[in-house]
């Protein structure tokens, strides 16, 4: 079963900002649910320098139609010049949960 649902992965530099992003996404109906993980160390190259930064991961459940708005909100709130935003397709799952995600993220004018 293919669905119109996606999972978006991102990170925030601290838990307070992660909570703020999650709050806006859910309250604005852009995401049905956002899970915040435990902070962990991210290792990456940035402008030729190896960086090690503690970040809080976010797992965002939404629909494909809401992706542009989710990305826009993350870019508005995030301090990084290039915040991580990865969109992963959901190819199946518990039908009742999928229906709930769709209902939570349906635009108000629909």
**Could you list the pLDDT tens digit for every one of the 110 residues in the chain?**
778 999 999 999 999 999 999 999 999 999 999 999 999 999 999 999 999 999 999 999 999 999 999 999 999 999 999 999 999 999 999 999 999 999 999 987 65
Adjacent-strand bridge partners of 24: none
- Please, what are the domains in the chain? 5-105 (3.30.70.120)
Enumerate residues 6+ apart whose C-beta is below 8 A from 7. Answer: 59, 60, 61, 87, 88, 90
Are the CB atoms for 34 and 25 separated by under 8 Å? yes
Enumerate residues 6+ apart whose C-beta is below 8 A from 5. Answer: 61, 62, 63, 64, 89, 90, 93, 98, 101, 102
Enumerate residues 6+ apart whose C-beta is below 8 A from 78. Answer: 10, 12, 17, 21
pLDDT at 110: 54
Angle, to 10 degrees, between the axis of helix 67-77 and the axis of helix 15-27?
140
Output Rg (C-alpha) for the chain, integer angstroms. 15
């Amino acid at each position: 079963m293919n669905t119109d649902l996606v999972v978006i992965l991102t990170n925030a530099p601290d838990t307070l900002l992660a909570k703020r992003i999650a709050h806006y996404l859910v309250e604005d109906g852009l995401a049905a649910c956002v899970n915040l993980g435990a902070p962990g160390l991210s290792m990456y190259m940035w402008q030729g320098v190896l960086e090690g930064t503690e970040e809080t991961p976010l797992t965002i459940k939404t629909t494909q139609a809401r992706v542009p708005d989710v990305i826009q909100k993350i870019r508005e709130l995030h301090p990084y010049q290039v915040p991580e935003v990865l969109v992963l397709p959901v190819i199946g799952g518990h039908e009742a949960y999928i229906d709930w995600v769709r209902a939570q993220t349906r635009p108000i004018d629909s």
